[in-house]
Amino acid sequence: MDQITVTSPLLPSLDEFIPYLRDIWDRKWITNNGHYHQKLEGALCDYLGVKYLSLFTNGTIPLITALQALHITGEVITSPFSFVATTHSLWWNGIKPIFVDIDPITCNIEPTKIEAAITPKTTAIMPVHVYGMPCDTARIQEIADKYGLKVIYDAAHAFGVTVNGKSILEFGDMSTLSFHATKVFNTIEGGALVCCDAETKKRIDYLKNFGFAGETTIVAPGINGKMDEVRSAYGLLNLKQVDDAIEKRRQIANQYREGLKDVDGITYMNDIQGVHHNYSYFPIFVDAKKYGMTRDELYEKLKKSNILGRRYFYPLISTFSTYKGLDSAKQENLPIATQIADSVICLPMYAGLQEDSVERVLEGLKK
């Protein structure tokens, strides 16, 4: 049996890419805000419905840069149920992460638990739109306003997601995106930082280029976060097919849902009214007692049938050696996140996944 991988990258047509490469070779301008970089920034603003977006070399440096741009210090409230880069970005800025438990339905930070975690040192909240499911942005903003906190959303999974027609990237002070190969929209490696005004974008653009504001002027201790011309051109081509890719993902999600609706002990996420989803992942949650098998047993069983799921996110960030000594990392503080991390498997999901492969996954789950 062929292997069914958990993901497969969306690749632009090579025939269309080659003329772009020729043009880059002719221009001899291969990085530092070149022609394709500028075109991709503009195209992404149009596609995503945002005004101010800065391209980056990946999705981690924008997190680190957002914290720098907003002068965040002290403590930041965040979710342990994310990819490690979310919390690592705090650590790299010398900021103490404070973990708060998650909501069992959306898997996002639980707003009702945020206030209890605020101390005089808290300066910001860094929530994550996990699997592209929107956070409770209204409640989070209310808390942020009450305590004078900044909000930086890790929107690495939320490319193209809208809520009642408004981009999810418009909430909070800043949002970050990842364009890693595994994401709905990819530039091989890449990412972006979305902000609210032109002045802030200018500062972000200085910060991602070592702090250069002119030939001899350094305005801040910046970093090198720049996206090059080759990946920008690749991104422009991929953007043309992203709507089709999301539609295919939607069909796959519906095929999974239909096939799993009567399987006792397996639950999954449903669409939310008013939200345009991107179907970036298809997580299932295994109730070992009802299903008759633990999550890990199921994961291994699928693997034996050459079906690769991913325990995403597992283990929780709060259990890693760097963070596990923090008070907020204690397991009793994070019961829902612990339970979700111990029961989740993300099933194979990518635009090119064939109907019969989805059937094979479903058979593997039903047996």
Ligand X SMILES: Cc1ncc(COP(=O)(O)O)c(C=O)c1O
Whether residue 256 contacts residue 269, with contact meaning beta carbons closer than 8 Å, is answered with no
- Find the part of the chain contacting ligand X (CB under 6 A) among 43-51, 83-91, 143-151, 286-294: 83-91
The least distance separating ligand X from the CB of residue 296, rounded to whole angstroms, comes to 22
- The residue to which tokens 């097919």 are assigned: 241
The least distance separating ligand X from the CB of residue 70, rounded to whole angstroms, comes to 17
Whether residue 65 contacts residue 193, with contact meaning beta carbons closer than 8 Å, is answered with yes
Which CB, 266 or 316, lies closer to ligand X? Answer: 316
User: Which region holds residue 30: left if phi is over 0, alpha if psi is between -120 and 50, else beta?
Assistant: alpha
Those residues whose C-beta lies under 8 Å from the C-beta of residue 150, and which sit 6 or more positions away, are: 70, 72, 123, 124, 125, 144, 172, 173
Which CB, 9 or 259, lies closer to ligand X? Answer: 9
Quick one: which of 93, 32, 36, 107 has its CA closest to 60? 93
Which residues between 167 and 186 bind ligand X (CB under 6 A)?
Answer: 178, 180
- Find the part of the chain contacting ligand X (CB under 6 A) among 78-86, 137-145, 346-354, 356-364: 78-86
79 binds ligand X (CB under 6 A): no
The CA–CA distances, whole Å, from 214 to 28, 31, 133, 224, 357 equal 21, 17, 40, 15, 54
The least distance separating ligand X from the CB of residue 132, rounded to whole angstroms, comes to 10
Which residues between 126 and 155 bind ligand X (CB under 6 A)?
Answer: 128, 154
Which CB, 5 or 255, lies closer to ligand X? Answer: 5
Residue 54 CB coordination number (10 Å) = 26
Which CB, 70 or 193, lies closer to ligand X? Answer: 193
Instruction: Record the tokens describing residue 201, joined without a space.
Output: 């974008």
CA atoms of 114 and 116, how far apart (whole Å)? 6
Which CB, 159 or 256, lies closer to ligand X? Answer: 159
Which CB, 9 or 265, lies closer to ligand X? Answer: 9
- Find the part of the chain contacting ligand X (CB under 6 A) among 81-89, 204-212, 251-259, 336-344: 81-89
Of 52, 81, 83, 285, the one binding ligand X (CB under 6 A) is 83
The least distance separating ligand X from the CB of residue 155, rounded to whole angstroms, comes to 8
Which CB, 184 or 284, lies closer to ligand X? Answer: 184
The least distance separating ligand X from the CB of residue 83, rounded to whole angstroms, comes to 3
The least distance separating ligand X from the CB of residue 180, rounded to whole angstroms, comes to 4
Q: E strands within the chain?
A: 52-56, 75-78, 96-99, 122-126, 150-154, 162-163, 166-167, 174-178, 191-195, 266-268, 275-276, 282-286, 344-347
The least distance separating ligand X from the CB of residue 321, rounded to whole angstroms, comes to 20
Which residues between 185 and 204 bind ligand X (CB under 6 A)?
Answer: 191
Report the run of H or E that residue 260 belongs to, with start and end: helix 229-260
Which CB, 152 or 307, lies closer to ligand X? Answer: 152
58 binds ligand X (CB under 6 A): yes
The least distance separating ligand X from the CB of residue 25, rounded to whole angstroms, comes to 27
Of 36, 44, 55, 59, the one binding ligand X (CB under 6 A) is 59
At 146, is the secondary structure helix, strand, or coil?
helix
User: Across-strand partners of 166?
Assistant: 163
Q: How far apart are the first and last CA of the chain?
A: 17
85 binds ligand X (CB under 6 A): yes
44 binds ligand X (CB under 6 A): no
The least distance separating ligand X from the CB of residue 131, rounded to whole angstroms, comes to 9
Instruction: Record the tokens describing residue 216, joined without a space.
Output: 């001899």
Give φ, ψ of 16 to 5 degrees: -80, -25
The least distance separating ligand X from the CB of residue 28, rounded to whole angstroms, comes to 28
Residue nearest to ligand X (CB): 59
Those residues whose C-beta lies under 8 Å from the C-beta of residue 212, and which sit 6 or more positions away, are: 206, 218, 219, 222
Residues in contact with ligand X by the rule CB under 6 A: 58-60, 82-83, 85-86, 128, 154, 156-157, 178, 180, 191
